[in-house]
Amino acid sequence: MAKILVNRVSDDAAFSIDDSLILMAYTANALTHVEYLSEEDGRKRAIDVKETLAQVGGMSNLLVSTTMLDGTAVWLNGARVVSVSDIDSKAVAYFDNNGSSLRRLELNVTSIVWDKAVIDKSGDFTYTTFAFEASPNIIKLTAAQGDLTAKFTVGVVFTVFGEGNDNDAIFTVVSSAFATTTNITVTETPVVDASTNGYVWVKA
């Protein structure tokens, strides 16, 4: 948790909010609008602040940048997103705003993209999958990300996650090598014909 330090538009006064209490931030009428829960009574409040949306979002490891279905850029409190599911190839996030029921937010990204954004904001590492081979047991990562062999030394445990990906699983590194791609040999057998539309997640 961290304190978000901002200046209110209404009176130019400095204002601090614990980022765990922030629900979301977005731009409305050319102003950065922040919704949060009051420390005093837990009720939802909103203020307009002088800082840009990116400045507000950058002050917290909990606020995750994404886009609403209508195109509005928004920073959501990732810790308050209870679940995310895909409907018509777009993510729907169910959000705890301390009300009697969960708030439903439609996003203009897939659930896998949301998951990646949360992981990236947390400070862990995600890499794009390129291909899977069952013999030998290799997970290939795209060469656009460079030589990642230092991240995948023997014994490193990592997760593959993706949209409809049969290789969603935890893998253990046997060896790694960089050629045109970074090839990670693992003890488990990947599913060759599964979609490679996914990511590898390594904890920092």
Q: What value does the CA radius of gyration of the chain take, rounded to a whole number of Å?
A: 20
95 and 104 in contact (C-beta within 8 Å)?
yes
- The whole-number pLDDT of residue 66 equals 96
Question: Which of 164-171's residues contact partners 24+ apart within 8 Å by CB, and which partners?
Answer: 164/195, 164/197, 165/129, 165/194, 165/195, 165/196, 165/197, 165/198, 166/191, 166/193, 166/194, 166/195, 167/129, 167/132, 167/139, 167/191, 167/194, 167/198, 168/198, 171/139
| Residues forming a β-bridge with 166 | none
Domain chopping of the chain, boundaries: 3-121, 125-202
Query: Do the domains spanning 3-121 and 125-202 agree at the CATH topology level?
Result: no
Q: Which CATH class is domain 3-121?
A: mainly beta
H or E element in which residue 125 lies: strand 125-133
Q: Which amino acid is at 33?
A: H
- The whole-number pLDDT of residue 46 equals 94
195 and 162 in contact (C-beta within 8 Å)?
yes
- The whole-number pLDDT of residue 1 equals 66
The per-residue DSSP string of 165-202 comes to: -TT-EEEEEEEEEESSSEEEEESS---TTS---EEEEE
- The whole-number pLDDT of residue 111 equals 92
Kindly give the confidence (pLDDT) of every residue in the chain, 204 residues in length, as a single tens digit, with 9 standing for 90 and above: 688 999 999 999 999 999 999 999 999 889 999 999 998 888 899 999 999 999 999 999 899 999 999 999 999 999 999 999 988 889 999 988 887 789 999 999 999 999 999 999 999 999 999 999 999 999 999 999 999 999 999 999 999 998 777 899 999 999 999 988 999 999 999 998 888 889 999 998
Q: What is the phi/psi pair of residue 139, to 5°?
A: -110, 120
According to CATH, what is the number of the domain 125-202?
A: 2.40.30
